[in-house]
Structure 1
């Protein structure tokens, strides 16, 4: 079987590139595929490269009005058995028009090229707080997002990462082709749990909705009481907001004990996560299930997060234990961090349970569900 996988892909950063990388890493191990072609976004790497049965073709870029034609042409040329799109609703750039064109591309693949099409849809508009993302609702946006979602749901199978998303789509769009496959963890990444550090880790691609100022201000207050406390901010600015972190650094340059690491490549993840004792997600809203939560449980670290629906539902469905604070409430965040600092024995039990669940929901396990779905489509 030949698979064509459309996704952002490393060394590109963000926009599901890391998720695509880990999923393809597992697919490559399967005997189901004779060859895998990744149609990736353009980056500084080679336009085309081959690694064993994997071929990576960098044929599209964000905010390109010709994006559907470039992708359709490559799919036609490669002639795969199954086409798999790895998407979220703003996958194709900042332009609303280009994102709409990207959203109809999977359906065009099914109709024009007569291919079996699968989509992994990582978020849905109905589950996002648009106001907190500075997006005002209007008639055109509502019609556009409805038609885009309807188009996405018209392919052979749509995979969502939460039953929470599935329930919304079934109720609003009467969809009958939706399957839930959890995001996937990175397995058990540690042999021993280590909670002896004084480093708080904030990790991700940073933008306004990630609410980093709230964490910095809470940290600044706690630092007066806990002198050895450190805050590690790992990850770069979000590709759509390239100056965000620089502005944060300027605003909080007087706060002592903060270290900014910038983008962290995969080979350095171990060091960053293992050297921390706590991970904090201070988000105002979410755009999907959090990859940082899945990294945190894999590395055996306690997690504090704002009580936004996407993370709350993730913990309910995947059975992870996360300590929540009231969204955008600095005092409650400080209270939960202090509880972690004072109750490390209790925290260890939480982490042990999370590690057990992480092993069951690893990428190697969830990839088997994808393979089973692909087989059913071909047969």
Structure 2
């Protein structure tokens, strides 16, 4: 039976979700928060199973799938058939559901199977396979992986509408897979604020704390940053490096090895995984954020969090960062990747110049103000209503 047009639109958001620390759980939380605050939406979250702690209050969470399971598609489909939502919205990358090849590939078929069951399906795709550096990702059998990656991407494109988070990602998919132009759309990542920031109030940050935040061990590595910190400490002896986040699933033990190696170095502190409620305090203590990436397959949530917290950014010269700076107006000090001396020089330039830091902080806060998450989600909802209306 068709749902009344006056009824709230029922959306099933498929995502990792706190207290799980799975890939994209923070982004899933902020999508769900924006949906929860919208009276025209009834949102249910199809989340990954976790033993990390109690559920967050005021969210309708149904933990119906398990990371690395071969049966993820079946479990999600069974939930969809039971709940009968108007829209099934996937928040995902290529390793969100699994990091073993067979389980990952089978899980990526889930949106296509949901569509075949007669439900409107939308995917927010955070990574594009063609931009994955397989060497950085430490992938064996790269040829087979490329074939599987293209097949997985094609399956996602057969599933319905896709949103990507950089304009070049959209063009890449249109060119490589020859899909209709209106099927693949670009939307900004969004910042984790509820509305536009009307008044600019910058925190007083005098302590020279450098923050690095992410999933470490593949294309995000700490070694170059530690080498650069040695140069920084020669001129700023009280500088401190905070390394926040956890190992990438492909490199278990990476951070623990570095922690043991630098145990006696008080200028380097490993914070571990940071729960969502503690993130503002971690960014609030920092003077600047450094992104020591060697490559990337998607946009960076850390960039948007740094902007939200009015922090200057030092980033490697990979294409994704230069595009974000150009398209979203983000202020970044760019250094050539793999050049620790150049990285140290950029860090020193900012740590020793209050004026430069202030200018970049203001620019990044304004960039954050331009794309608050509720406004980004509203653009999704407008599309969902249009597509669902055409299906009825």
TM-score when scaled to structure 1?
0.94
The equivalent position to 2:333 in structure 1, one of 313, 323, 326, is 323
Checking the alignment, whether the CA contact within 8 Å between 1:222 and 1:334 is kept in structure 2 is: yes
Q: Give the CA deviation at 1:65.
A: 0.9
Q: 1:186 aligns with which of 192, 200, 212?
A: 192
Q: Which 5+ residue runs of structure 2 have no aligned equivalent?
A: 1-8
**1:115 equivalent in alignment to 2:119:** yes
Residue number in structure 1 paired with 2:23: 15
Match of 1:105 in 2: 110
**Per-residue deviation at 1:330?**
0.5
Partner residue, 1:147: 151
**Residue equivalent to 1:43:** 50
3-state SS, counterpart of residue 284 of structure 1: coil
Measure, in 1, the Cα distance between the counterparts of 2:131 and 2:56: 38
Distance verdict in 2 for CA 1:312–1:103, change over 3 Å: same
Distance 1:90 1:271 in 2: 29
Are the structure 2 counterparts of residues 267 and 190 from structure 1 closer, same or farther at C-alpha, using a change threshold of 3 Å? farther
* CA spacing shift, 1:333–1:377, aligned 2, 3 Å: same
Secondary structure of the residue that 1:378 maps to in structure 2?
helix
Q: 2:314 aligns with which of 280, 287, 304?
A: 304
- Per-residue CA deviations over 1:89-119 (Å, capped at 9, x if unaligned) read 11222211111111111111111x1000000
The separation in 2 between residues aligned to 1:353 and 1:367, in whole angstroms, is: 23
| 1:45 Cα deviation after fit | 5.7
Matches within 5 A, 1:281-360: 281-360=291-370
CA RMSD of aligned residues (A): 1.9
Output the CA distance in 1 between the equivalents of 2:93 and 2:87.
Answer: 19
2:72 aligned to 64, 67, 70, which one?
67
1:185 touches 1:358 (CA, 8 Å); kept in 2?
A: yes
Extract unaligned runs of 5+ from structure 1.
Answer: none
Aligned match of 1:361: 371
Runs of 4+ in 1 over 4 A off after TM superposition: 49-52
Q: Distance in 1 between matches of 2:265 and 2:227?
A: 9
What is the CA distance between 1:272 and its match in structure 2? Answer: 1.5
* 1:281-340 per-position Cα deviation (integer Å, ceiling 9, x unaligned): 111111311111100011111000111122222222112111111011101101111111
Residue 190 and residue 200 in structure 1: after superposition, are their counterparts in 2 closer, same or farther (change >3 A)? farther
Map residues 151-190 of structure 1 onto 2, 5 A cutoff: 151-176=155-180, 177-187=183-193, 188=197
The size of the alignment, in residue pairs, is 375
Post-superposition offset of 1:195:
3.8
Note if contact 2:162-2:185 (Cα within 8 Å) is conserved in structure 1: yes
Structure 2 counterpart of 1:222:
232
CA distance in 1, matches of 2:210, 2:56: 40
Contact 1:194–1:274 (8 Å) recurs in 2: no
